[in-house]
């Protein structure tokens, strides 16, 4: 499920081993886990992590209790919310995104923090190194810049003769600057032009798609962001209306509910909550974040939705379909 940087954790970080949480927990101990989220967690990260923790024998009201703080898209509130969790004396803070992780890290040097971050947490100053994070922060990185380069290559394969790609992204997100540079470099190698579609607020999306159509973009590349996840269905509908073949940063945009996006290339969204829960489990058992290497995903999945392809009149090359991990029939 995960490739751990530099060294392998004992028992594969508990991912493949039978759950031992109940044996290791103190009798009568009720652990407190704090969730710090930049948005209102519309796509259920904390819910899925909570469920994954039940697979490790943590039962709410019996041996674990959850505290939630959500910034609702207002990053300036994150420091105060992080301080509230610390004041509640939680045993671990679970959070995602550079602003939230930084807020949690600034609020405490002693409470363990389990993070999910895109890009390089070393460059972001969150940990000392992947192999030995140091301090009180560890967790999972999703390799977004590297994956975005591959996504651009795949969408070019899917659309014969593609020369111009619109990129939907939020430049206000500090994690996206590196990713944008990586995509620009990949575009030069692939011989395609990029059109930057910047979205920061809810009302930026329709004008962005209108600009893509006006400038004759041949495809769309969507970057992950807290402003974009809640708009998954809306984005797929706008892409279909604009007849833009779209590549997404998660299968959540493609095979979840009625989102009906075209393609995704990403770490398994089903692995992610188990990965985070495994780290929370180890911390609650006494492991120190400083000694737990930051982990990277090893299972990267290509998902293609032929129903969405048919709706915009696109024929996906057979060579690409054969490489897909999941194909949704028309």
pLDDT of residue 235 exceeding 80, the answer is yes
Mean pLDDT of the chain: 88
d(CA 143, CA 147): 6
% residues pLDDT > 70 (the chain):
90
Cβ neighbour number for residue 110 with a 10 Å cutoff: 7
Specify the pLDDT at position 41.
Answer: 59
Q: Which residue has the tokens 């609702």?
A: 72
Whole-number pLDDT of residue 257: 79
Q: Answer yes or no: are the C-beta atoms of 303 and 326 closer than 8 Å.
A: yes
Helix (H) or strand (E) holding 328: strand 326-328
Q: Is 240 exposed, middle or buried (0-12, 13-18, 19+ CB in 10 A)?
A: middle
pLDDT 10s digits, 249-267: 999 999 987 899 999 999 8
- Rounded mean pLDDT, 87-107: 95
Domains of the chain, with CATH numbers?
2-142+269-297 (3.40.50.2300), 144-267+300-328 (3.40.50.2300)
Distance CA 280, CA 290 (A): 14
- CA torsion sign for 255, 257, 261, 267 is negative
**What are the tens digits of pLDDT across the range 205-234?**
999 999 999 999 999 999 988 788 889 999
21 pLDDT exceeds 70?
no
pTM of the model: 0.82
73, 13 contact by CB (below 8 A): no
- Residue 307, pLDDT > 80, answer yes
Write down the residue that tokens 């780290």 correspond to: 279
């Amino acid at each position: 499920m995960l490739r751990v940087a530099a060294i392998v954790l004992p028992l594969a970080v508990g991912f493949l081993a039978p759950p031992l949480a109940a044996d290791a927990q103190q009798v009568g101990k009720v652990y407190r886990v704090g969730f710090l989220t930049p948005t209102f967690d519309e796509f259920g990260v904390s819910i899925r992590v909570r469920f994954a923790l039940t697979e490790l024998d943590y039962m709410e009201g019996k041996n674990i209790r959850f505290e939630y703080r959500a910034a609702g898209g207002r990053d300036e509130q994150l420091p105060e919310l992080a301080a509230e969790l610390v004041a509640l004396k939680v045993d671990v803070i679970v959070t995602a995104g550079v602003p939230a992780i930084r807020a949690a890290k600034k609020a405490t040097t002693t409470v363990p923090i389990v993070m999910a971050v895109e890009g390089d947490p070393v460059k972001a100053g969150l940990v000392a190194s992947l192999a030995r994070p140091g301090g009180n922060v560890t967790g999972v990185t999703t390799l977004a810049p590297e994956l975005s380069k591959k996504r651009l290559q795949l969408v070019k394969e899917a659309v014969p003769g593609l020369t111009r790609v619109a990129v939907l992204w939020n430049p206000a997100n500090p994690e996206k600057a590196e990713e944008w540079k990586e995509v620009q470099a990949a575009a030069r190698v692939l011989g395609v032009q990029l059109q930057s579609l910047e979205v920061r607020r809810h009302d930026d999306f329709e004008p962005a798609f209108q600009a893509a159509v006006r400038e004759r973009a041949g495809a769309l590349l969507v970057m992950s962001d807290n402003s974009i996840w809640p708009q998954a269905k809306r984005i797929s509908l706008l892409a279909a209306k604009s007849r833009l073949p779209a590549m997404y940063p998660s299968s959540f945009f493609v095979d979840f509910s009625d989102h009906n996006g075209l393609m995704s290339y990403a770490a398994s969204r089903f692995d992610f909550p188990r990965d985070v829960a495994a780290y929370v489990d180890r911390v609650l058992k006494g492991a120190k974040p400083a000694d737990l290497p930051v982990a990277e995903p090893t299972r990267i999945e290509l998902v293609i939705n032929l129903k969405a392809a048919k709706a915009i009149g696109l024929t996906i090359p057979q060579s690409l379909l054969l490489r897909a991990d999941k194909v949704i029939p028309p």
